[in-house]
Structure 1
Amino acid sequence: MVRVLIGGIVALAVAMGVGRFAFTPILPAMQAATGLGADGAGLLASLNYLGYFVGALGAGLVPHGAVRTAVFRTALIASVTSTAGMGFTDGMAAWGVLRFVSGLASAGIFILGIAMVLDALARAGREAWNGWLYTGVGLGIAASGLFVALMGDRLGWRGDWLWLGLVCTGAGALSWLWVTDPPPVPSSAGAAAGTPAKPAGGTSLRSAPLLLLTLAYFLEGAGYIVTGTFLVAILKTMPETARLGEAAWMVTGLAAIPSGLIWAAAGRRLGLWRALILAHLVQAAGILLPMTGQPAAAVVSAALYGGTFIGIVTLSFTLGRQLSGGASARVIGALTAVYGLGQIIGPLPAGVIVARTGSFDSALLGAAAAVLVGALLLLAGSWAARRPAPEVAVGAGPA
């Protein structure tokens, strides 16, 4: 089971930490060498998240067994190929295709890989290990930031993409070998499990708390991704923080590694609603801190940002499953979809605003505002969840 868990962690590091997020530390060098503007960078980011959205929708249709293993392995190939391919091209059209393919691949690896690893851990009675799987995202972010910091000046932006793709090819081989899906075992229980569950206890999938959580998660996707796309570029534009760009991204990754475990513990202690609201407030502060132009604030910003975005995903999924009353698969699918839409939308206006104003301040204010509005929606959801359900008189008909 240790090998399966390691394979899953590496897969997330390859697809999410590098394939998806290495764009952030490499972006300033790409802009300096090619003249890529903030609006173009925002478009490339949105195309990547569009690919993720499409891939997330398709991943839910992949059957268990050999097909799921084959699709997962195909996604691994597409991820490392699209990462290395960025170094072979220098045009927006080719970059756009590669970022879209990278998004497709990251969705397949994230959704199918996690499912296969969690299934394997469940069969072995190792569910307590589940939280460690998500550390792969932070590991990949930290590793890509370290690589660019150490080698970026020597290799240039093309060499960064090429060598990261090569490293991911070697690391991804472990995931290829260790993460597989056995054929499904037909049984009455399995048949029952395949039947769509009905919400238990009268809980509605259209309940106010669940709708408010979904709206908040959409805003989180739109807000967090602005920093996730431009953090290093933001720091590089200010003389006081220019030397901290890649180092701050490493701090982001290091803070992200334990964040899922930390916020899950906070959810057990404070309650899921309160912990989720607190995570939003902390993240909004992290988004705004780079506006001060202070080096210390930049490092704290990276830590707060990295220490919350995976935790918010963990808490939101947990709360969504709790509110679903037995229809958790549908709720998680809906949350993933709206989060993906938010990620597609967020970078586009941010990039346009930066291109027109020459400053990231308005984009950061907008991103923080989206996250804070999400916190207000969660506060309303918490209040709605505490309200007693209306009692219906026995035998009462329509009024």
Structure 2
Amino acid sequence: MVRVLIGGVLVLVISMGVGRFAFTPILPAMQAATGLGTDAAGLLASLNYLGYFLGALGVGLVPQGAARTAVFRTALIASVTSTAGMGFTEGMVAWAMLRFVSGLASAGLFILGIAMTLDALARAGRESWSGWLYTGVGLGIASSGLFVAVMGDRLGWRGDWLWLGLACLGFGTLSWLWVSDPPREPGHTVAARPTSAPAFRPSVPMVLLTLAYFLEGAGYIVTGTFLVAILKTMPETAQLGAAAWMVTGLAAMPSGILWAAAGRRLGLWRALILAHVVQAVGILLPITGSPAAALLSAVLFGGTFVGIVTLSFTLGRHLSGGASARVIGALTAVYGLGQIIGPVPAGLVVARTGSFDSALLGAAAAVLAGALLLAAGAWMAGRRDPAAVALGAGRG
């Protein structure tokens, strides 16, 4: 089971740390060498998130068994080749295609890799290990940041993509061998669905949570895309760019576990509101131009975005009244839409003004607006059942 868990962690390193977020530390070197504008960079980021969104919708249709394993392995190949391919190409058309394919592959790896790993842990009675799986997101971000910080000047942006692709090939080989679905047993039949499955009627608190999650996706992704580029534009913080991204990853590694504990102690609503406020502060700190504030920004940002996902999914399951799969699917969809939308206007504003300040203010405002919606949701849930807010959820 240890090998399965390691394989699952490596899947998240490949899909999220490299496939989705390695673009962030490499972006400044690409811009300096090729003249890539911030508006074009925002478009490339959005195409990656569009691929992820569409991939997430399609992957949900893949049945368990050999088909799921085959799609997962295809996504591994696509992720490795689209990462390395960035180093072999130059020009918006090729980059756009590769970033879109990378997004599709990331969705397949992230969703199917997590599902197969969690299923394997459940079959072995090791569900308690599942919290460690999500450390792969932060580990991937930290590793890619460290690699670019140490080797970026020597290899150039092309070399960064090529060597990260090679590293993903090695990690992916282990995941290929260790993460899979068992074949269906002969004569296996699918259990009939209960005839009285609970109907799901979205409550006002659930709608408010969904809207808040959309705003979180649109707000956090501005920093998630441009943090290193932001720091590189200011003389005081120019040397901290790649290092700050590494700090972001290190802070993200325990984020899900720590915020889950905060949810148990404070209640899910309160912990989620607090995480939004802390993240908004982290988004705004680079505006000060202070190196210390830049590092603190990386800590606060990295320490919240995985935690917000964890808390939102947990709260959504509480509010679903038994229809948790539908709720998590809806939350994933709106989060993906937010990520698609966020980088484009941010990139356009920066290209027009020459400063990231307005983009960061807008991103922080979106996250804080989400916190206000969550506060309204907690109030509505408390009116229905005051005890539920202490536990974190109102009744759907």
Query: Would the TM-score normalized by the shorter structure come out above 0.5?
Result: yes
Tell me the residue number matched to 1:74.
Answer: 74
Can you give the 5+ residue segments of structure 2 that lack an aligned partner in the other structure?
A: 386-396
1:153-232 equivalent positions in 2, closer than 5 A: 153-184=153-184, 190-192=191-193, 197-199=197-199, 204-232=200-228
Partners of 2:43 and 2:336 in 1: CA distance: 15
Tell me the residue number matched to 1:146.
Answer: 146
State whether structure 2 residue 64 is matched by structure 1 residue 64.
Answer: yes
1:355-394 equivalent positions in 2, closer than 5 A: 355-388=351-384
Per-residue deviation at 1:205?
3.2
Deviations 1:248-306 (A, max 9, x none): 00000000000000000000000000000000000000000000000000000000000
8 Å CA contact retained: 2:237, 2:289: yes
Deviations 1:180-221 (A, max 9, x none): 00134677783337x89424xxxx432101100000000000
Partners of 2:219 and 2:251 in 1: CA distance: 19
Kindly provide the amino acid, as one letter, of the partner of residue 17 in structure 1. G
Partner SS, residue 115 of structure 1: helix
1:220/1:85 Cα in 2 relative to 1: closer, same or farther (>3 Å)?
same
Partners of 1:385 and 1:376 in 2: CA distance: 14
Kindly provide the amino acid, as one letter, of the partner of residue 282 in structure 2. G
Partners of 1:338 and 1:31 in 2: CA distance: 30
Can you give the 5+ residue segments of structure 1 that lack an aligned partner in the other structure?
A: 390-399
Partners of 1:359 and 1:228 in 2: CA distance: 17
Partner SS, residue 10 of structure 1: helix
Q: How many residues align?
A: 384
8 Å CA contact retained: 2:64, 2:181: yes
Partners of 1:212 and 1:372 in 2: CA distance: 13
Partners of 1:271 and 1:356 in 2: CA distance: 43
8 Å CA contact retained: 2:202, 2:320: no
Tell me the residue number matched to 1:7.
Answer: 7
1:334-345 equivalent positions in 2, closer than 5 A: 334-345=330-341
Partners of 2:260 and 2:189 in 1: CA distance: 34
Q: CA RMSD in A?
A: 1.3
Deviations 1:332-375 (A, max 9, x none): 00000000000000000000000000000000000000000000
Per-residue deviation at 1:387?
1.8
Tell me the residue number matched to 1:109.
Answer: 109
Deviations 1:148-177 (A, max 9, x none): 011100000000000000011011111000
1:62/1:196 Cα in 2 relative to 1: closer, same or farther (>3 Å)?
farther
Kindly provide the amino acid, as one letter, of the partner of residue 24 in structure 2. T
Tell me the residue number matched to 1:397.
Answer: none
1:26-65 equivalent positions in 2, closer than 5 A: 26-65=26-65
Kindly provide the amino acid, as one letter, of the partner of residue 72 in structure 1. F
State whether structure 2 residue 276 is matched by structure 1 residue 280.
Answer: yes
Identical residues among aligned pairs (%): 82
Kindly provide the amino acid, as one letter, of the partner of residue 326 in structure 1. G
